[in-house]
Structure 1
Amino acid sequence: MPSSRRITVNGIRVNVAVAGSGPAVLLLHGFPHTWRLWSEIIGPLSEHHRVIAPDLRGFGDSTRAAEGYDASTLASDVESLLDALGEPSAAVVAIDAGTPVAFLLALRRPELVRRLVLMESLLGSLPGAEDFLAGGPPWWFGFHAVPGLGETVLIGHEAEYIDWFLASGTLGRGVAPEIRDAFVDAYTGGEALRCAFSHYRAMPVSARQIGEAVATRRLAVPTMAIGAHPVGRALERQLRPVTDDLTAHLLPDCGHIIPLDKPGELLRLLTPFLADGQRVSTVDRAL
């Protein structure tokens, strides 16, 4: 079982679960998750890695900050977290709202990111997602983006709201009751909802940050894109023109919440990819 602690970084307290030893692997969740999204992944990965799974700013038991929900600030949060934990580099695995954060971190600090795995998200307004967005973005993007609306009308109905995302994100299969209850608890109350929706309200700023970053540099870190339902290959198509070393996979019959819906399939992709990065890192140190 991972140990949990709170660490002060970048002006906030970040709740982080840590397990195992070896080359670091940083896991970044999305909405409506906490670090417990990785519950089925942490144990197997910790057999060969030091697994670091934080609650992102405003989520779970991390500080419910007034601001700082853009991808650049969040990338600074996790960069400072790795430094506080004494890790000079890490493989970074991210999904949903964590994906733009990991992408910017790898662009800005390629020496800090050994390998990069991005799942089920879009990267701002980069070309490649036109088919996915042909009917407009998912309905909740607009709902969450309206200041003050979601956290007002959902009070008292947080459980039903989170349940919809958990069912949709697993194609109706659902998640373990203890994980579901932890997510519901983490998103109950006006402040919890405000912080969650602040990630969506910062999306225009995050999109601008991503656009500016790729205008001046390419993603040189070995990268894996993993799609499922509903994003599919849209993220891969966004990454292709800006990434030097990209492999991509599409998981059939898998919902958006890949680490809980198909953890075995995810581990079969992650394990060799992360091991390759570990071998490269060992050779680099020997040289």
Structure 2
Amino acid sequence: MSQNNKLFDEVLIDDVILNHHTILVNDIKLHYVIAGSGDPLVLLHGWPQTWYAWKHVIPALAEHYTVIAPDLRGFGDSDKPAGGFDKKTLADDIYKLVHKLGFEQIYLVGHDIGGMVAYAYAAEHPEDVRKLVLMDLLLPGVGLEEVMDVSKGGYWHFGWHMVRDLPEALISGRERIYLSHFFRELSYNPNAISDEDIDEYVRCYSSPGALRCGFETYRTLLADGEQNKKYATQKLQMPVQAYGGQNSAGDMLYQSLLTVADNVSSKVIEGCGHYIPEERPDVFVQELITFLNK
């Protein structure tokens, strides 16, 4: 694999050209990567990642689809505004990006925070999402609160990231130490995400405002939960596929999705932790194409 992190250049990964662009939506510039041709397939990353989380799977998917992998508002090389980090607003950014590119109906995939955004997109525009894929997350208001509760064995970082200003102040200048903890601890194989990969994420999260923006996506989670409860009054009707890493969410996502969607299937990815597209890219591509072609 050869690549170039320089923004807006063409990047060659596994002999597939990935084109970098920016586009103005909702008064901010979003950076996105696009490759391939065919029906549009939108990939939404989580925290602490960027579009780069999909680098291993884009080449194979681009043989079948027009793959669009944006940096969410506040992430990567997209603008870092003061607000707009609730998942409904983040979803609207992506909706406008898709339509500015000339597409309407899409296949939509989201991982982690990106999965929360993908659900909001599908709930707001169910007629425009042909199939929805959510990976290794729980939705706010629909199960996430349990894993946010440290007193019941939940993950500590949810509450910590919600604290205003303090995480940014303590982590600034130590981004590599902080991000590496999550990549190593939440992966089945702690070497699946390479030092080169971490270099790229550190580059992005060390830029001015990046830590704050990332944490703002956590600071809206309780409000996102209230919004999702409203969405859940009308269940999604499109096919929904849930993926969970064997050593991470497993089938927890499937159980929670049954309350918000009628047509849900699930797959646990063996030998995998939280970062499915990077830990098991070949398995993910095969599973995704099979689901989309059903």
Aligned to 2:244: 227
> What's the TM-score once normalised by structure 2's chain length?
0.89
Aligned to 1:218: 235
> What's the TM-score once normalised by structure 1's chain length?
0.92
Residue 91 in 1 paired to residue 107 in 2? yes
Aligned to 1:74: 90
Letter in 1 for 2:235: R
Aligned to 2:194: 176
CA contact (8 A) 2:148 2:155 kept: no
CA contact (8 A) 1:152 1:190 kept: no
CA contact (8 A) 1:116 1:222 kept: yes
Residue 255 in 1 paired to residue 273 in 2? yes
Residue 141 in 1 paired to residue 181 in 2? no
Cα deviation digits, residues 252-275 of structure 1 (max 9, x gap): 220101110111111121011122
Distance 1:159 1:242 in 2: 37
Residue 185 in 1 paired to residue 215 in 2? no
Higher relative contact order (CA 8 A, sep 6+): 1
SS of the residue 1:235 aligns to: helix
Residue 246 in 1 paired to residue 242 in 2? no
Distance 1:144 1:129 in 2: 14
| Alpha carbons of structure 1 residues 222 and 153: separation in structure 2 relative to 1, 3 Å | same
* Alpha-carbon shift at residue 230 of structure 1 (Å): 2.1
- Extract unaligned runs of 5+ from structure 2: 1-16
Across the two proteins, how many residue pairs are aligned to each other?
A: 275
Q: CA RMSD in A?
A: 1.7
Letter in 1 for 2:109: V
Is 196-205 or 237-246 further displaced after alignment? 237-246
- Extract unaligned runs of 5+ from structure 1: 277-287
CA contact (8 A) 1:71 1:209 kept: no
Aligned to 2:287: 269
CA contact (8 A) 1:129 1:237 kept: no
CA contact (8 A) 2:122 2:236 kept: yes
Cα deviation digits, residues 153-189 of structure 1 (max 9, x gap): 0111101111111112323224133322111111115
Is 81-90 or 174-183 further displaced after alignment? 174-183
Residue 4 in 1 paired to residue 20 in 2? yes
Is 136-145 or 59-68 further displaced after alignment? 136-145
Distance 2:173 2:139 in 1: 33
* Alpha-carbon shift at residue 131 of structure 1 (Å): 7.8
Residue 237 in 1 paired to residue 255 in 2? yes
Cα deviation digits, residues 225-246 of structure 1 (max 9, x gap): 0011322222111111321211
